[in-house]
Structure formats: structure tokens, C-alpha cells
């Protein structure tokens, strides 16, 4: 266990900036929004009437509104973190080779599966920990702001909205992060670009088969299938933690992620080390 924790710490130190940079970007965006809001408030202070909003909604409607509002705010945060997820995971198993120190890491007395598991966990899922922290802070801010305007402290609903954003990120990590982890074992560099081209060529072949057979044979779409694994992304009345976690596509995404990890490890294990 101590060896595995050491591997996790090593991966964190090696890519520390990639974990904290999205946090600072989100903090910068929030700070910019606050500065603009405060500036606008000061400029139009005489026109502002402070008081509670007269809400003609039921208690449950307000709760849903707070949850959806927080979830909508989290989507921007998820987008920023997803970009860094793609950047980090596409070089998970090729970074050492690119830097010319792969032989050193392969010679360490650690099982190859344990080594790749540490890389997979840190490069694909570690961002969710930072995202969860931001989500809890954002949920608290939303609850405080709404308490000053609606007269109720809906912290629970705000936290649920934040958790929905974290679950969305985890789904993206399961599908696209795992896929890029697999590509990182195949391509030495630019795994995202080369992998996207490879999947695009497969889609093109499928399209040509459909055209040649005059659509008598329905071929799957690679990209549509990957997006479908993310589940329902619509903000509707059925959206909730229970509904999202009970989605059968989450189980398929878990199986897909496991297959990507296993395939990447086997390829990494048996790939010839270039001189």
C-alpha cells in the first residue's frame, strides 16, 4: 500500500501544475465576475432597491431552481477541467518516452499493473477531487446569495447541483479520459489528435459502407456512441443524483473504462522500448 501511495504522490508531483491550473482559471473567472458585478452595483447604487424577491413558487420549485442553477454554473467549471483532463490523459503512458526516461521508470521494482493503475487514477480521475472542492464552495456561495434574495437557505439543493456537475465530469473522465489513456499507450505524442483522426476514419468507412449498400446496412457512429455513454445531459425535471447514478449507461461506461485501462496496460507492457 505504501508503494502505491508513493506512486500516486510521484504522479501528483510530476504534473502538479496541471491539477492546480484549472483551479486558478476558475477562481480568476469568478473573481472577474465579482469585480464586474460590484462595479456595476456601485455605478448604479442609487437605482438599486434592496429587498426580498416576492417569489410565487412552491417550496419544491425553488429547490429545483437552486439545484439547476448551481448545476448550470458547474457546467462551465466542468468544461475547464475537461480540457485539462484531455491534455493530461493523452500523455499518461507516453510522457516518459517523450522525455527519454522511460527505461528508468520501467526498471523500477513495481508491478506494471500497479504502475499504470496509479497513472490512470491520477491522470484521469484526480481532477474530480479538486472539482468537488470547487463545487462545495460554489454551492455555499449560491446558497448565501439566494438566501439574501429569496429569504431561504437552500444549501442542500445547491450541493446536489454541484454533485451533479462532479458526476458529469466523472462520466467524461470514464469515457473520454479512459479512451485517451488507451491512445497514450499507442501513440508517442499528440494522442488526442491522432486518436480523433483514427476514430474519424472508422466513422468514414462506416459511412461509405452505408452509402454503398444504399442504407440497407445501418452502421454505428463512433462519436455518437461515445457521447451516448455520458447519459442524459438535459436539464429537466427528472435530473437528479438518483436518476443519474441509476442510468444503465453508467454501467456500460464503467465496463468501457475498464477495457480501455486493461488494453492500455497490455499494450504498454509489451511495447518495444525504442533505443
Give the domain ranges of the chain: 2-36+58-270
Are residues 125 and 12 in contact, defined by beta-carbon separation less than 8 angstroms?
A: no
C-alpha cell at 132: 468537488
| 250 to 171, 244, 257, 260: CA distances (angstroms) | 7, 8, 10, 15
| 217 to 82, 112, 174, 209, 267: CA distances (angstroms) | 35, 42, 30, 8, 33
Predicted pLDDT at 101: 52
Grid-cell match 528508468, residue found: 104
Q: Output the pTM of the full model.
A: 0.82
Instruction: State in Å, rounded, how far the first CA of the chain is from the last one.
Output: 33
Rounded Cα–Cα distance for residues 13 and 59 (Å) = 47
Buried b (16+ CB within 10 A) or exposed e, 43-69: eeeeeeeeeeeeeeeeeeebbbbbbbb
The pair phi, psi for residue 156, each rounded to 5°, is -60, -45
Are residues 126 and 175 in contact, defined by beta-carbon separation less than 8 angstroms?
A: no
Summarize the chain as % helix, strand, coil (round to 5): 75, 0, 25
Rounded Cα–Cα distance for residues 32 and 24 (Å) = 12
Helix (H, G, I), strand (E, B) or coil at 203: helix
Predicted pLDDT at 275: 43
Predicted pLDDT at 53: 46
- pLDDT tens, residue order, the chain (275 aa): 667 788 788 888 888 888 899 999 988 888 888 788 778 767 766 655 544 444 444 555 667 778 888 888 888 899 999 999 988 888 888 766 655 555 545 566 678 888 888 889 988 999 999 999 999 998 888 888 777 666 667 788 888 889 989 999 999 999 999 999 999 888 878 888 988 899 889 888 888 888 888 777 777 788 888 888 887 766 555 667 777 777 888 899 999 999 999 999 998 888 755 54
Rounded Cα–Cα distance for residues 20 and 11 (Å) = 14
Rounded Cα–Cα distance for residues 219 and 205 (Å) = 9
Amino acid at each position: 500500500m505504501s508503494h502505491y501511495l508513493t506512486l500516486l504522490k510521484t504522479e501528483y508531483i510530476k504534473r502538479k501544475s496541471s491539477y492546480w491550473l484549472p483551479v486558478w482559471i476558475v477562481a480568476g473567472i469568478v473573481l472577474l465576475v465579482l469585480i464586474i458585478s460590484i462595479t456595476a452595483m456601485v455605478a448604479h447604487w442609487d437605482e438599486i432597491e434592496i429587498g426580498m424577491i416576492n417569489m410565487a413558487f412552491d417550496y419544491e420549485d425553488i429547490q429545483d431552481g437552486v439545484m439547476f442553477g448551481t448545476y448550470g454554473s458547474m457546467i462551465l467549471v466542468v468544461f475547464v477541467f475537461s480540457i485539462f483532463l484531455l491534455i493530461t490523459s493523452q500523455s499518461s503512458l507516453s510522457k516518459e518516452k517523450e522525455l527519454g526516461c522511460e527505461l528508468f521508470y520501467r526498471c523500477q521494482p513495481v508491478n506494471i499493473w500497479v504502475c499504470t493503475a496509479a497513472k490512470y487514477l491520477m491522470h484521469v480521475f484526480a481532477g474530480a477531487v479538486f472539482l468537488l472542492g470547487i463545487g462545495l464552495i460554489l454551492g455555499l456561495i449560491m446558497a448565501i446569495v439566494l438566501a439574501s434574495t429569496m429569504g431561504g437557505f437552500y444549501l442542500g439543493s445547491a450541493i446536489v447541483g454541484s454533485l451533479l456537475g462532479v458526476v458529469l465530469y466523472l462520466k467524461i473522465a470514464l469515457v473520454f479520459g479512459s479512451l485517451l489513456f488507451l491512445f497514450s499507450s499507442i501513440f508517442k505524442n499528440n494522442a488526442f489528435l491522432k486518436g480523433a483522426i483514427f476514430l474519424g476514419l472508422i466513422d468514414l468507412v462506416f459511412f461509405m459502407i452505408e452509402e454503398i449498400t444504399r442504407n440497407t446496412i445501418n452502421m454505428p457512429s463512433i462519436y455518437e456512441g461515445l457521447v451516448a455513454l455520458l447519459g442524459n445531459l438535459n436539464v429537466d425535471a427528472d435530473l437528479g443524483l438518483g436518476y443519474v447514478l441509476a442510468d444503465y449507461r453508467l454501467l456500460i461506461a464503467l465496463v468501457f473504462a475498464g477495457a480501455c485501462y486493461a488494453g492500455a496496460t497490455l499494450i504498454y507492457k509489451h511495447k518495444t522500448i525504442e533505443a
